Structure 1
Amino acid sequence: MTVTAAKPSTRASWRPLPRRRPVGPPRAALAIRAPLPAATRAVLATLSVLVPLAAWLLLGASGAVDPRFLPTPQEVWSAGLDLAASGQLWTDTWATVERILSGFGLAVLVSVPLGIAMGSFTAANAVLEPLSGLLRYLPAAAFTPLLLIWLGIGEPPKVALIFLGTVFFNMLMVADVVRLVPRDFLDVAYTLGARRREVLAKVIVPHALPGVIDAVRVNFAAAWNLVVVAELVNSETGLGKRILLAQRFTQTDKIFAILVVIAVIGVLTDVLLRLARNRIGRWA
């Protein structure tokens, strides 16, 4: 039995490549990661606000939805003015902001150093990552009965709920940012004679700082979600408490007004953190 060797393929036997129509460069708005002109960015940002607002106005004017369930923007504005004139809005807003500053501020103070340690030292990651990875899957709201038993019915359980709901997520996100520091930077620093403390202070922390601010910015939104939940339980003041009271009397206009206040505060805080990130971490 003889075996015939396969003839090697030659360039002449290759099939011609399919012809494709020439593709022009995509528009800036459709190109992947392409920078947008300032005018285009402003138009898109404006439309993202005006389109939902226009839909809200049309639904309210058409009467397609009962005003008890979807009040008009004018009704929401009037309800907000009434809350502001009575002083309730300012009292509740400050009470909520104070709880967030306490709970989330404490979470940042704890999570950022631990996250830097996890991202920098394998031993620290081996100790902290399993526990934090387990606890972050437990819903923070489920700890409410325990916090009330342990800490009473005052402000401590509200602050603790915000802390528990944000500290582990922020710690893991900071650790991931620190791990993105190129190894070449560390090797160069050690080659030039830097010590471990200097590498941490002059290489790792400066490179990771913009990402750390981004992690804080993302988890700040989670703190707002948790503070509303915390204020639903045995609270005298706060935006969450005001929402609960309005719900009892089907005052949806007040609920929408409070939601608008929360959204405005959140957007302003997000913008401030973005500006801080761009100014502090200009090298990134």
Structure 2
Amino acid sequence: MTSKATLSTAADAGETSAATPISHPPSVRKTVRNQFFAFRGTLSKRAQILTSVTASLLVLAAWEISTRLGWINSLFLPPPSVTVETLWTMITQKNLLMNAGISTLRVWVAFALSVVMAVPIGIAMSSFRGVGAALEPIIDFIRYLPVPALVPLSIIWFGVGETTKIFLLWLGTFFQLVLLVADDMRRVPQEYVEIAYTVGARPFQMLKDVAFRAMLPSLFDNLRITLGWCWTYLIIAEIVAADNGLGFVIWAARRYMNTSEVMAGVVTIGLIGLLTDQLLRLMHKRLFRYL
């Protein structure tokens, strides 16, 4: 009788627990309801977009109010409204879009050249110890050299044409990228290599079909990051006897303390970078859906 009563009580308790939702502590319920400040929480796409737009508008509003109230001298930092007006004037009257296109072409040519060289060299450095031992000290030395200090040498070597501008952009990108590629290859788990050899893969097959495919997601992210670095060297590259490009526009406006045009040029670079980065992020999600 006792066992039956015990079983009956347990069954009733089970039914009650199944019917009654589990009660979480208040802190847990708060975290579930408010993922905004949760550690590694999740936000819907709509919430992320709304948050990004709101934060950007708040920054622009603070900037506008600070300059209008005189807290910041508009001579040194024109308000967003003036910057937007100047930007439109430069687009319609001063060929800003043409200069932006020229700068974008220069950046992409230099970046493509860096990628074509850095990817195979970086893979070789991490795959073959002899190559890494020979090249890594040289690359480490050159990548710490300030690019502006090499402008006079680049003019002596290549003159003042397009080659010098491409070289300076390449110089600021290649030596950073090649080490990132080498690190990406080193992070490929050794188990992948051993399994490939176990099933009869040859060294080139293992490198092409296993290691390279495994490193592709992180390689794509590093390419996106280094493309941003390439843009940061644009001003340096386009002050070398240039008569077009965004760097030239900004540098020419600086001479006359025309800060609104300087800001318009800077904003143009930022907008191009933002658009490019978002497109690359979208490509990453499409290409690597399994992550």
| Residue equivalent to 2:167 | 160
| Deviations 1:162-214 (CA, angstroms, capped at 9, x unpaired) | 11111011010111111111111111111111111111111111111111111
- Give the alignment partner of residue 53 of structure 2, picking from 39, 46, 50: 46
The residue number in structure 1 matching 2:240 is: 233
TM-fit CA distance, 1:23: 8.7
Whether 1:114 and 2:117 are equivalent positions in the alignment is: no
Q: How does 1:1-284 map to 2 (within 5 A)?
A: 24-25=27-28, 26=31, 27-284=34-291
Kept after mapping to 2: 8 A contact 1:112/1:174: yes
Task: Tell me, in whole angstroms, the C-alpha distance in 1 between the residues paired with 2:130 and 2:157.
Answer: 32
Higher mean C-alpha deviation, range 89-98 or range 154-163: 89-98
The corresponding residue for 2:18 is: none
Alpha carbons 1:210, 1:278 under 8 Å: kept: no
Distance (Å, rounded) in 2 between the aligned partners of 1:158 and 1:113: 24
Q: Which amino acid aligns with 2:191?
A: D
Q: How does the TM-score come out when normalised to structure 2?
A: 0.85
CA shift for structure 1 position 269: 0.9
Aligned-pair CA distance for 1:87: 4.4
**Unaligned stretches of 5+ residues in structure 2:** 1-24
Aligned partners of 1:190 and 1:59: how far apart in 2? Answer: 64
- The 1-side partners of 2:186 and 2:180 are apart by 10
Question: 2:253 touches 2:259 (CA, 8 Å); kept in 1?
Answer: yes
User: CA offset at residue 125 of structure 1?
Assistant: 1.6
C-alpha contact 2:64 2:81 (8 A) present in aligned 1: no
Between the aligned partners of 1:63 and 1:245, the Cα distance in structure 2 is 27
Q: Distance in 2 between matches of 1:34 and 1:242?
A: 43
Question: What's the % identity of the aligned pairs?
Answer: 35
Amino acid across the alignment from 1:185: Y
**How many matched pairs?**
263
Bigger mean CA deviation after superposition, 38-47 or 217-226:
38-47
CA distance in 2 between counterparts of 1:186 and 1:51 reads 50
Greater Cα offset, 94-103 or 262-271: 94-103
Which letter maps to 2:186? Answer: R
Supply the distance in 2 between the matched residues of 1:117 and 1:28 (Cα, whole angstroms).
44
TM-score scaled by length of structure 1: 0.87
Q: Relative to 1, partners in 2 of residues 1:108 and 1:66: Cα closer, same or farther, differing over 3 Å? A: same
Give 2:241's aligned amino acid: N
CA contact (8 A) 2:188 2:211 kept: yes
**Cα displacement (A) at 1:274:** 1.3
